Chain A
Amino acid sequence: MGNPIAVLEVGTSEVRVVVAEPREDGLLMITGVGRYPSSGVRKSELVDFENAKICVKKALLEAEENAQVAIQEIFMVFSGDHIKQIINRGSVNVLSMDQVITADEREEVVETARAVSLPHDHEILHSITRKYYIGDETRGVLNPDGMEASRLSLEMLILYCQSNRLRNLYRLAEEAALEVTEVAFAGLCCGLSVLTPQQKEVGAILIDLGAGTSDYVVYSDNEISLAGSLGVGGDHVTNDLAMGLNLSTTQSERLKVKYGAAMVDLSSRGRRIPIPPETGFRAQEVLSRDVNTIIHARMEEVFELIKAQVDKEVKKKNFGAGVILTGGGAKMTRVQDLATRVFQLPCHIGYPREISGLALPSESPEFASTVGMLKYGVRYGNMADRGPRLGNLLRKMFGKP
């Protein structure tokens, strides 16, 4: 087994630390999990640094005890609706006499494609190679090395984020005596964790329904065509229920998890759900239909907004693998039916693949992002030993099956 690696995800509902060791057969052996309910995080962003710090330390301690390791370096999962994408194209002339493209031209065109103008206080989070274009050809190639051309172009998908939010995440880790090895966008991590190479090849829409945000990554035409984050998640559903039915947040969260459904099923139309009392909130009964009407409206809106993005941004809409849902929201009753109806595509839940050890992460779609980051970490470590170029690694892991 290889050296253990650890991933920290500061989620809106929970802080998670997962430790794993790479096995010789290529699988990841999960050796430790630490979880602690989040405090000080809203919509995947820090709103109370001190509270979040305590949660990180608690989750870290549990994971360390569980895995029997001392964690000093960490990979981190990152999300938030400030993460945006740009698709940029850069071009260079091939100057050699024989006009054969070499690694030098390739490196140069990567730098050119990465040279984008970002808003103030934003920085590049990921730059993912999509396709190279040779001369005036309109059909892209995956690897131009050795080909002849007078000009080489590259189309790159660039994900950028607000610098201060990224810096605060680093600071949070440092406060817990952790050194951050790498940070990756949660949506991309989910893709790495649950999608098979075949699914990426035929096209898929992956949506990570988290508590604070709904992250999405769209694979089509054998590449990532769209990635982003919508600042609406399960917390909004809880809040909607609390507002609509006059419940506390705790009451509505329990109601959502235990009785909530994304579709209104009229077979239980008259069903009344008892809500136990809580300090400041009396006991009452609510109608199942009201609960599901509120949930349906919110979830339908989330899917419709993502679909609008897909319709607008993705040229080749081939999604043979349909819609894959991850995150805690994927466990909601009949959420697949709703996604099928909105996207007019088959939909299923995505579970983390190719892992062994502690059962929890492989059985829970909400662990998709952390497990994806573990996979990223393992390959990052392997590539780092050989002195990798990050652009290539990202393309291999996210852009290409």
Chain B
Amino acid sequence: MTTPLLSTNEETIRDPLPILFLALGNAGGKLISHLPKRVPELSYVAVDTDAASLNELSFERKILLGETLTNGMGTGGNVELAQRCLEEGEDQLFSLFQGYKVVILVAGLGGGTGGGLGAQLADRAREAGLLVIAGLVQPLEAEGGSRRNLAETALGHYREACDAVMLFPLESLKVNEDASMLLARLLKRCGMEIGRALGGVAVLLRSGWLIPLTLQDLVQTLKQADGYCRLVAVSAEGENRITSLLDQLFTHPLIDRGSLLAHSGGVVVGMLCGPHTPVQDLERISFEIRRVLRSDADLKIGVAQDERFGQHLALVVMAAEQWKVKAVSVEEVEEELEGGDPVPSDKSKVDEKGKMVQSEIKLPSHAKTKGRFKGIAPTIVEGADLDTPTFIRKGLRLSFHKDLSS
């Protein structure tokens, strides 16, 4: 289930991959505007249809699309116009991808540029042979129906065009106490959290690895997650840094205050530390994370070292939001129920989207699994007997694992 923890092997330290961070639109630019200074080993470029917005950014390379079409005024959320802008600047963009193997595209889904032309841009990057990962920000619900519809449509297109998608729903960063918070402050905080998470990935990609975690590990987890994934980064220093780090992680709104972690089928953890980090720190973090995960969760852990971290310790955690769930096998159910009588099924266990299909789970018909519903007309939906506890049908294991036949 897990990658073995500590085996320091200096040979695994490798050169960073040729990776391009592409900030798309106003939101994309603002979210990673801090990265070129912090992680200069990677390449960055900002692409927008709005000249004023592009001017505010300190990126070395900037591309203004559709200048003749919009006079540099942006698309105003007009998707068709955004796509025409892309066509106009296509040659320039295609040459941009030369020499890179991976592009990480960062955009807001509610805007004209990020929502309108990003997916096609991703498509072009894939045509050029690059691996494309998108970090996408979903707008707040309060931003209105048309923006939300635009975002949903755009997300669908991104998922088709990209190898993997990391999703950042702004709504999840808003907690109840935020009702009276100033909007500007809330957006700034959201931007900081997302920027920090994306920054974490950038740092991981260029750091020297003690325990390797490759980009393919990240991509495989994202693909397994059916395209949806959440990313979070936390850091701490000082004597209680482990406790602080774990508390931040397990209460972080970007992973639903830990709920997503507890239910995710696939988790990638990158630990970033200085050269003097003791083994016990890493062991404790690994232990605590494994303790809260599902027992069948696919966990990949990598440890990267950077001298600049000193006494700091940081975690970058990627948790799959949807997972290609393994249905419970007949043998497992039988074993669990000690002689249960499984219903035979020859259908496949997982649908084409990778979600567990109710009717295809091997269901035990053992009366003892139905408790108070034994003997009354069952609730059957698509072949699944819903009177049998869901956690049994889904094969979830509890800490307190009792013998159901007792």
Q: Which chain B residues lie closer than 8 Å to A242 at the CB level?
A: 371-372
B259 and A297 form a contact (CB under 8 A): no
B1 within 8 A of A: no
A236-B251 contact given A243-B369, A263-B256, CB 8 Å threshold: no
A42 within 8 A of B: yes
Q: Which chain A residues lie closer than 8 Å to B292 at the CB level?
A: 266, 269, 289
Binds A, one of B31-39, B93-101, B309-317, B373-381: B373-381
Shortest Cβ gap from A241 to chain B (Å): 9
- Partner of A296 from B263, B370, B404 at Cβ < 8 Å: B263
B373 and A244 form a contact (CB under 8 A): no
Q: State in angstroms the CA–CA spacing of A242 and B371 once bound together.
A: 8
- Partner of B390 from A265, A287, A297, A341 at Cβ < 8 Å: A297
Within residues 237 to 290 of chain A, which ones have a CB less than 8 A from any CB in chain B?
239-240, 242-246, 249, 263-267, 269, 286-287, 289-290
Q: Which chain A residues lie closer than 8 Å to B398 at the CB level?
A: 244-245, 287, 290, 293-294
Select the residue from B369, B390, B400, B402 with max chain A CB neighbours within 10 A: B390
Within residues 322 to 339 of chain A, which ones have a CB less than 8 A from any CB in chain B?
337
A81 and B250 form a contact (CB under 8 A): no
- Partner of A269 from B145, B258, B371, B396 at Cβ < 8 Å: B258
| B255 nearest in chain A by CB position | A266
| A345 nearest in chain B by CB position | B141
Interface size (B, Cβ < 8 Å)? Answer: 38
Q: State in angstroms the CA–CA spacing of A244 and B403 once bound together.
A: 9
A239-B372 contact given A266-B250, A337-B256, CB 8 Å threshold: yes
| A240 nearest in chain B by CB position | B389
A235 within 8 A of B: yes
Q: Which chain A residues lie closer than 8 Å to B218 at the CB level?
A: none
Q: Which chain B residues lie closer than 8 Å to A286 at the CB level?
A: 400
B241 within 8 A of A: no
User: Digit string of B191-212 for contact with A (CB within 8 Å is 1, else 0)?
Assistant: 0000000000000000000000
Interface size (A, Cβ < 8 Å)? Answer: 42
Q: State in angstroms the CA–CA spacing of A289 and B258 once bound together.
A: 11
A290 and B400 form a contact (CB under 8 A): yes
Select the residue from B381, B387, B389, B396 with max chain A CB neighbours within 10 A: B389
- Partner of B387 from A236, A246, A264 at Cβ < 8 Å: A236
- Partner of B391 from A240, A246, A265, A318 at Cβ < 8 Å: A240
A232 within 8 A of B: yes
Shortest Cβ gap from A81 to chain B (Å): 6
Please list the 9 inter-chain residue pairs (A to B) with the smallest Cβ-Cβ separation, ordered nearest first.
Answer: A266-B258, A231-B379, A266-B250, A240-B389, A297-B390, A264-B262, A263-B259, A239-B371, A290-B398
12 examples of A-B residue contacts, CB within 8 angstroms: A42-B372, A45-B377, A236-B387, A236-B389, A239-B387, A243-B371, A244-B392, A265-B259, A289-B262, A296-B259, A305-B358, A318-B145
Known: A42-B376, A287-B398. 9 other contacts (CB 8 A): A81-B379, A239-B371, A242-B372, A243-B404, A263-B257, A264-B262, A266-B251, A266-B292, A267-B251
